[in-house]
Structure 1
């Protein structure tokens, strides 16, 4: 059952649910824009706008979002929000073991903001993480080599560290962990300076280029990254897309897995304390079950992450938890079941 929200809160909740359902970004943005407009009104102005039916005179508020505002303002659950909540209530709930694992997660170690290719400000991502019960969120915007994703230069990353420090003072005890999703270069080096990587709380290292390289070459590349003392998490290790990204002609083409020696890479993860990411994005679900099972057998630790690019996507961890349980991942080997202090003891090795 839905609960009452402020007008701005109802608009944000709708945006969250649409993001979780992978609805088009323009639909989501309409509700987030309207929420920002309404949040900027004082009580008297909001009351006047509702009474005079002039909400749609405000830039950023249309007929649908105005209806949500009016219904929430009078204390009702907006009908559109109610429909969205009920549609999610019909989804199959997690089995007991997976639900227990999801409840044990204290945070997410892979998320993006509008500083790189995410769609929302850092504060919005943090507040969404708080709303679903997390104690921390690692902010892992892209590194500079990934220009298509507006990767952070060293100077921009320095600026982000200052922004995060200020937000952490305001949002405490919740904590935004400083981090990066760092490109693994072709030679296996990491795409950021050692000095900056040493200052971060969490480094997720991922391959984003030349994904069809020969297996031997990809293996050496991944081994070098895993063995790097700055690497904490190996991100979406096969690079596959089970749901293809939309092409210019409207088709969607899945992307096959990169080929590499999984036993060698996962054994190196164990030896060097690098966690294997269980990426929960619906289009990735990486690693595949056979590789996830093998990583369990070899003794890897894991991070169940969303790779979220919007607030609502932070609620995707259910999929990762279900796959983890199916493949026999022990809860005590999931590093984001630990407190921030315990996690930082590990990552600051």
Structure 2
């Protein structure tokens, strides 16, 4: 099997591993900076770095880092990485990913306590860390708690990674001549925030041939089980390292039995249990093989579609995203299931970044990408001045950006361009720009990026104060979580929902796959309280505009309908919404 060229993301991770190991070792700043800048340059490159004739054509990539990239592309271990891993346990890189633990802290845990892995951090008594200079009891407890849950989160795929892998596998299955139907199943089909493993279901006229083809495909790294009706394999995960493999199950049936199999392996388990209980009361037994009753002599009768399955049980069809035993059966029985929002309902994106702050795209390149998606409007919301790490805009730079957005808006007939800002909510709840400047903007998104540890009461009051500003239209990523990396900050979400309703402030459902913030339970509570949502990508480049599908999937899990979301408004109605103010 031919060795595949590394993706940009894999090259970035290797460069970042060198950065982390150098910082642990205490290398000079200029050496660390060279690899840091190279990683940023690779991340910003729109094409395949592996396809470049010379990596030195990238900004900030010199001779040393160029050779490093070339080694990776040609399948060699770069000497500097080999040297660092000889000296420093590679597993310490994982330790640096724990919330509150950077390279220097990881280095101290290694040098002073002999810790070399996340598992060893989890086994520590917090008092051992607390005895080290510069550590307190609370910070030590947080580090150990983060390590304890690391394996359960870090090993789970984010929705975009799971979707990319799953859809590639699905395309292979659907391309086989014997395949009649095939779908993704499991938690990925239900749009869960993170995915543990992948399930596929196929209907085939020649199950054995499809099974053999799947087990023998180039993407297979290990065959765990192989039979005519089920294949279990391991494939590369997003990091494509030996310890980053994803479990995949393919189940194959004849076309006439497809419906119950797809339903069974879509789940959730809780939904399937309550559905089985309902069926038993009707004298029917549900299994993955079909429906059995006295009328069938106790033998499972195949069911070809999920729609037929639900109809036989006296229910409306329940979309996969709702199958969590959260009232969906009652709603299906009563005919009150929501008319769920779809990606095609979205008319614009209200929170995207450009190269004015920490984005990669320009105003015009982002606009043209939005036009390709069929959007009617786009709102540019670069960071405000205090967030220097994200190249936040001074008032003078914001004024220049405002002029450029107005000029670009005149150039495009297909789309309206608006100038906004993602304004930081400062520690005391005030905003990062004066009201007079905010009044000049079309749309203001407010968010928290610093001082996460102020406590629930202070954080709640901080955001509530921002909501009471007449210019703030939505609160971005309201709980601040980063999936697999950072827990939400302490905040009373129910109090935020109440304040959002009182102040006519929307709450954002951030579609970026590592955020998906609000989570589904909070988004559902918000719409039930009458609060409007915005579903925004927080895109920092053109491709990230495509993350909208993940935000919509999260919204569907929250029972959200088109009318609950501001950016489903047609352009003229959206303009009227802006003009009306709060």
TM-score in terms of structure 1 length? 0.72
Q: Which residue of 1 aligns with 2:344?
A: 103
Does the aligned pair in 1 maintain the 2:527–2:564 contact within 8 Å? no
Query: Which whole-Å deviations, capped at 9, do the CAs of 1:261-282 have from their partners, x for residues lacking one?
Result: 2222111111211111000111
1:307 alignment partner in structure 2: 538
Q: 1:345 deviation in Å?
A: 2.2
Distance change (3 Å), C-alpha of 1:180 and 1:265: same
**Paired position in structure 1 for 2:498:** 267
Corresponding residue for residue 324 of structure 1: 555
The reply to whether residue 226 of structure 1 matches residue 461 of structure 2 is no
Work out whether residues 446 and 474 of structure 2, in 8 Å CA contact, stay in contact via their aligned partners in 1: yes
1-structure distance, mates of 2:453, 2:477:
15
Structure 2 portions without partners, runs of 5+: 1-6, 14-38, 59-163, 172-182, 192-318, 322-338
Out of 125, 136, 154, the residue aligned to residue 395 of structure 2 is: 154
Aligned residues of 1:30 and 1:60 also touching (Cα < 8 A): no
Match of 2:417 in 1: 176
Question: Which residue of 2 is the match for residue 49 of structure 1?
Answer: none
Residues 67-86 of structure 1: matches in 2 within 5 Å?
Answer: none
Q: After the TM superposition, which residues 17-166 of structure 1 pair with which residues of structure 2 at under 5 Å, given as runs?
A: 26-27=41-42, 29-31=44-46, 60=57, 87=168, 90=171, 101-166=342-407
Which shows bigger deviation, 290-299 or 310-319? 290-299
Cα displacement (A) at 1:319: 0.9
Asked if 2 retains the 8 angstrom alpha-carbon contact of 1:186 and 1:221, the reply is: yes
Q: In the alignment, which residue of structure 2 is the partner of 1:333? A: 564
- Corresponding residue number in structure 2 for 1:10: none
Does the 8 Å contact 2:340/2:556 carry over to 1? no
**Corresponding residue number in structure 1 for 2:456:** 215
Runs of 4+ in 1 over 3 A off after TM superposition: 22-34, 86-100
Number of aligned residues: 281
Tell me the equivalent position of 1:250: none
Contact 2:519 2:554 in 1 (8 A): no
Give per-residue Cα distances to partners, 1:136-191, cap 9 Å, x unaligned. 11100000010110101111000001111111111123111110000011121111
Q: Which has the larger radius of gyration?
A: 2
Cα distance in 2 for residues equivalent to 1:30 and 1:293: 38
Deviations 1:47-101 (A, max 9, x none): xxxxxxxx969x959xxxxxxxxxxxxxxxxxxxxx99x8497495886999952
Looking at structure 1, the residues matched to 347 and 475 of structure 2 have their Cα atoms a distance apart, in angstroms, of 19
Secondary structure of the corresponding residue to residue 294 of structure 1:
helix
Tell whether the 8 Å contact from 2:381 to 2:419 is kept in structure 1 after alignment: yes
CA distance change for structure 1 residues 262 and 121 in 2, over 3 Å: closer, same or farther?
Answer: same
Contact 2:341–2:562 (CA<8 Å) still a contact in 1? no
| Matched position secondary structure for 2:452 | coil
In structure 2, distance between residues paired with 1:309 and 1:88: 28
8 A contact 1:18–1:312 mirrored in 2: no
Q: State the alpha-carbon separation in 1 of the partners of residues 341 and 526 from structure 2.
A: 21
Distance 1:188 1:135, change over 3 A: same
Say if 2:487 is the partner of 1:256: yes
**Cα RMSD (Å):** 3.2
Give the conservation status (yes or no) of the 8 Å contact 1:280–1:307: yes
Task: Give how far 1:340 is off.
Answer: 2.8
Residues 175-221 of structure 1, C-alpha deviation per residue, up to 9 Å, x if partnerless?
A: 11110000011121111121221111111000111112111101110
User: Residues 99 and 196 of structure 1: is their aligned pair in 2 closer, same or farther, counting only changes over 3 Å?
Assistant: same
- Which of structures 1 and 2 has the larger relative contact order (alpha carbons within 8 angstroms, sep 6+)? 1
1:241 matched residue in structure 2: 482
1:291 to 2:526 alignment: no
